[in-house]
Amino acid sequence: MTQPHAPIEPYDTGMLDVGDGNLVYWEVCGNPEGKPALVVHGGPGSGCGTGARRNFDPDRYRVVLFDQRGCGRSTPHASDPATDMRHNTTGHLLADMERLRGHLGIDRWLLFGGSWGSTLILAYAERHPERVSEIVIPHVTTTRRSETDWLYRGVGRFFPEAWERFLAGAPGVGRDGDIVGAYARLMADPDPAVRERATADWCAWEDTVLSLEPYGAAHPYGDRPSKDKVALVRICSHYFSHGVWLEEGVLLRDAGRLAGIPGVLLHGRQDMGGPPHTAWELARAWPDAHLTVLPDTGHKGSEAMRAEVIGALDRFAGK
């Protein structure tokens, strides 16, 4: 089995002023003269971790990681109820990525990330294709409203008891109502006890959706530090209740803009939160992408998926 590359630490870090009172944390690892690559984390609101660094050969890559607005080490933090979420949208994040590229003096970079990160990658690449050399995406999603509805309603047919508890956490919302919007309102409630309960209910549901997967932590959402959980749920519900400020289906419709950009798409057959059909649709619409569906993998990944990721990044390192 392919082994991760050796652990590395950043050789440069900073806080980028992106306007609206926001400072975005960034770090750079690996070889200062290496191939530029940007890691785009998921969530939205998860923050960048150290594990993603080990997917890259530190001798051949200049790896950039950043915490998206409101999470991780970026400020102000979304766990603070005083943080203004009006300045945290997909458009803001795309502008932050481009500002970071210019700040670091990078002409073109490889983009790597999955789940919500893949949505942000696709939106950025379709807006700035001339700035993207290659794309590697595990766990493909375009965060269409239909995909969000599946995650917070449709997949409940497999977990009816847990979904009823999730629904009950949003009093007054019917079975066909706007459950994500209701949680966004709960996360904006002035009562900290209300926000705490909504955070716990949301994370319990997310953990349930991933509970049948054979790999990974048992409670990847619920076991996060309290501050990070609050920020994650607040940002997720904020984004998803607004359809992530993207026209429904626009990333698939405009995938032709990615022509000429080599892409590797990886998706787990057992991903209950995001079935493989979105990855399949994207691969059909993007002429230079290759899709691999891994039979024993879900949203939490696996050794087989990590091997595919490292293999793809190693192949792209010399280009």
Answer yes or no: 103 catalytic: no
Rounded Cα distance between 218 and 47, Å, is 20
Q: Which of 139, 238, 299, 302 is catalytic?
A: 299
The gap from C-alpha 295 to its chain's centroid, in whole angstroms, comes to 22
Report the distance separating Cα 131 and Cα 189, nearest Å: 41
Which among 79, 115, 118, 237 is annotated as catalytic? 115
DSSP 250-312: HHHHTGGGGTTS-EEEEEETT-SSS-THHHHHHHHH-TTEEEEEETT--TT--HHHHHHHHHH
Q: Which amino acid appears at position 267 of this protein?
A: H
> Is 5 annotated in the active site?
no
| Cα separation of the two ends of the chain | 24
Question: Catalytic residue among 67, 201, 228, 271, which?
Answer: 271
Per the document, the length of the chain is 319
Which residues make Cβ contacts (< 8 Å) with residue 119, sequence separation at least 6? Answer: 90, 141, 142, 143, 244, 246, 251
Query: Does the annotation count 299 as an active-site position?
Result: yes
Catalytic residues: 115, 271, 299
